[in-house]
Amino acid sequence: MTIEPILATLDQLEKLHISLLRIANEKTSRIKKNDISGLDQLLKDEQAHLAAILQTDKAREQAVVSLFTEQGRPVPLNPSISDVLDITEEPDHTRLKEAKDRLLHAIHELKWQNDLNQKLTYQSLQFVNLSLDMVRPRTESVNYSKKEIQGNAVTKDLASFDSQA
């Protein structure tokens, strides 16, 4: 077996991650515009992409397992592209490494964009909470204060029992 099925799944994973990156970029603009309905639709699209990525990654894992079994090598517990790189020789090694590097680059860009979206969402939430705190009336404390429990100092000096009466 050649590494062609593995390269095909890596290329598919790269395309899916780049598409997910486009969604993440669009999410950034929707967050900035405060477009909640558009953001909701993007989240649904993102879920579909994640499901496709999981399915493609399983296909990649199966292709790696097939390669190992056909070569009579022990199959690693969690077969990865690094495992395949260890057993391949030129020119397949170079092609596989380039595909892996492209995928990792797309993943790192996606991670950076998602971190930005998370920070923007957190700032928006802070702004909403600040606005609500400014509008919302302050509630009086329902607990007793120390002064109310101990009473006034003036009343302590007065006797509660009048012996001359």
Burial of 99 (0-12, 13-18, 19+ CB in 10 A): buried
Cβ of 68: how many Cβ atoms within 10 Å? 18
109 has a pLDDT exceeding 70: yes
pLDDT band for 141, please (50, 70, 90 cuts).
low
What's the pTM?
0.74
Both tokens assigned to 106: 């797309």
Both tokens assigned to 163: 């012996």
Q: Are 6 and 63 in contact (CB under 8 A)?
A: yes
Domains of the chain: 4-136 (1.20.58.300)
CA-to-CA distance for 148 and 91, rounded, in angstroms? 85
pLDDT band for 162, please (50, 70, 90 cuts).
low
Q: What percent of the chain lies above the pLDDT cut of 90?
A: 49
Which pLDDT score, from 0 to 100, does residue 124 have?
83
- Residues counted in the chain: 165
Residue 28 identity (one-letter amino acid): T
Which pLDDT score, from 0 to 100, does residue 133 have?
79
Residues 8, 14, 17, CA angle at the centre, nearest 5°?
140
CB neighbour list of residue 113: distance below 8 Å, 6 or more residues apart: 21, 24, 25, 28
pLDDT band for 152, please (50, 70, 90 cuts).
low
pLDDT in tens, 67-87: 999 888 888 888 888 888 888
Burial of 136 (0-12, 13-18, 19+ CB in 10 A): exposed
Picking from 45-54, 102-111, 119-128, 133-142, which range would have the lowest pLDDT averaged per residue? 133-142
